[in-house]
């Protein structure tokens, strides 16, 4: 059977938003130019580095085609939250340690750029020690002398950690510091090999306690 000059009475589906996750300078600029959502996927939360990444996205946005939808910019943030602030900190510390090892090894191979290279203020002893003396991908315990080198300032460059109230306060501070950012993409710390399912379930429930007040206009204005 053949049909000619027949119209279809159906709605055209809306365009699917395009998200580009980027870390390097060129990809950040490209994301600003052509994406609907530019996702800053850097593993570091150091303010100067985040500011530089956002500025690269905004520079690319100046080349956007007229008529495009407004650009969204979101930050990738590791969130470790618990009523036990010390537990949340320990969990986030393991994530920081894993990230440091990943960045050091990748830098040695020449596979990363400045946006994800190891933080310049990281003690060399910490970097070398984590690479040579621990297995942060499988073990829950890091040598105490290395764990002690993860100061609060260093930890804050890799994760948001603490009680729900502390995490909400920190995330609001980040949002105020970078008004161009339209959203956060929150993720749990990287797991260790023997982490049980309940570990993830508890993390998701705790994450909800942070998200809810951030989404509430009344709570945000308080």
Distance CA 11, CA 14 (A): 9
| pLDDT, position 215 | 84
Residue 110: per-residue pLDDT: 63
- Residues 80-139 have pLDDT tens digits of 999 999 999 988 988 888 888 887 877 777 655 544 455 657 888 888 888 888 777 777
pLDDT score, position 35: 97
Task: Check residue 216 and give its pLDDT.
Answer: 63
pLDDT < 70 regions, the chain:
110-120, 192-193, 216-222
Residue 149: helix, strand or coil by DSSP? coil
* Domain residue spans of the chain: 19-221
Please tell me the class of the 19-221 domain: alpha beta
**SS3 per-residue string spanning 31-68:** HHHHCCEEEECCCCCCHHHHHHHHHHHHHHHCCCCCCC
What's residue 74's pLDDT?
Answer: 95
Query: Is the distance from CB of 39 to CB of 74 less than 8 angstroms?
Result: yes
- Give the position of tokens 């059977």: 1
* Start-end of H helices in 63-196: 85-109, 124-133, 144-147, 152-156, 164-177
Burial class (CB in 10 A: 0-12, 13-18, 19+), 58: middle
pLDDT at 213: 92
């Amino acid at each position: 059977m053949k049909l000619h000059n027949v119209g279809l009475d159906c709605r055209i589906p809306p365009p699917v938003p395009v998200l580009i996750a980027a870390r390097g300078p060129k990809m950040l600029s490209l994301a600003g130019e052509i994406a609907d959502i530019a996702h800053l996927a850097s593993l570091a939360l150091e303010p100067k580095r985040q500011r530089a990444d956002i500025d690269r996205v905004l520079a690319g946005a100046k080349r956007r085609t007229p008529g495009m939808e407004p650009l969204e910019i979101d930050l990738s943030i590791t969130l470790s939250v618990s009523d036990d602030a010390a537990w949340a900190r320990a969990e986030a510390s393991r994530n920081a340690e894993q990230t440091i090892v990943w960045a050091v090894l990748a830098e040695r191979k020449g596979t990363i750029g400045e946006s994800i290279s190891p933080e310049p203020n990281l003690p060399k002893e910490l970097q070398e020690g984590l690479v040579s003396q621990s297995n942060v991908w499988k073990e829950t315990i890091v040598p105490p002398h290395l764990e002690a080198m993860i100061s609060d300032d260093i930890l804050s460059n890799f994760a948001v950690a603490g009680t729900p109230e502390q995490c909400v306060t920190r995330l609001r501070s980040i949002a105020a510091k970078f008004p161009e950012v339209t959203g956060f993409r929150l993720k749990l710390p990287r797991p260790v090999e023997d982490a049980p399912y309940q570990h993830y379930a508890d993390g998701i429930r705790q994450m909800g306690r942070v998200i809810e007040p951030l989404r509430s206009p009344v709570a945000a204005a308080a």
